[in-house]
Amino acid sequence: MGGLLDRFNLLWLLRYRFSYGLSAAKSFYLLTATGKKLHSAELMRLAKMESIEEIVSALPQPYQSLLARSASISEMETVMEYYSLSVAAEMLHRKSNLLARTFSYVLLREAEVRFLQALIKGKQLGFDRELIGKAVGVSH
């Protein structure tokens, strides 16, 4: 759950600051209080930064490595989503507590449903296979 909060906070921070042009204070105010690695003080520090590149270079690992080569916020969103799903898949196979495994299972199934919907919509709209594959994260 903490990793998902990190993902949401980071992506919304970037959108608020650089897509919507909100101030650092207003952007920080709109975020949740905590996550796994991005706690309140860290989010406040990041919100004060003046560029996406500066924020990415100040992120803790593994977020910094994951996002270092992303060219846009939407690309970062995709990278963070797949990272979250990979963490959920790992958690599902661990002997961790039942609640964590159940939450991971629900996240993974929800992602599968979204990918299937994208596949079906792409076929209905007559998009080519490569574009559909890109939308659902499959490379040919």
DSSP string, 51-109: SHHHHHHHSPTTHHHHHTT--SHHHHHHHHHHHHHHHHHHHHHSS--HHHHHHHHHHHH
- Residue 21 resides in a domain: yes
CB 76 within 8 A of CB 68: no
R_g of the chain computed on alpha carbons: 17
pTM of the model: 0.77
- Residue 22 resides in a domain: yes
Q: Give me the pLDDT at residue 139, please.
A: 55
Distances (CA, A) of 108 to 31, 82, 94, 133: 24, 10, 15, 18
Domain boundaries, position 41: 1-70
- Residue 17 resides in a domain: yes
The predicted-structure confidence for 31-57, as pLDDT tens digits, reads as follows 987 888 899 999 999 999 999 999 999
- Dist CA 40 CA 42 (whole Å): 5
Percentage of the chain beyond pLDDT 70 is: 96
Split into its structural domains, the chain has a count of: 1
- Residue 51 resides in a domain: yes
> How many of the other CB atoms lie within 10 Å of CB of 48?
15
**Is a pLDDT exceeding 60 seen at residue 22?**
yes
Q: Give me the pLDDT at residue 94, please.
A: 82
- Residue 92 resides in a domain: no
- Residue 123 resides in a domain: no
Give the residue, 138 or 97, on which the prediction is more confident: 97
- Residue 80 resides in a domain: no
| Token pair 């959920």 in the structure block, residue | 88
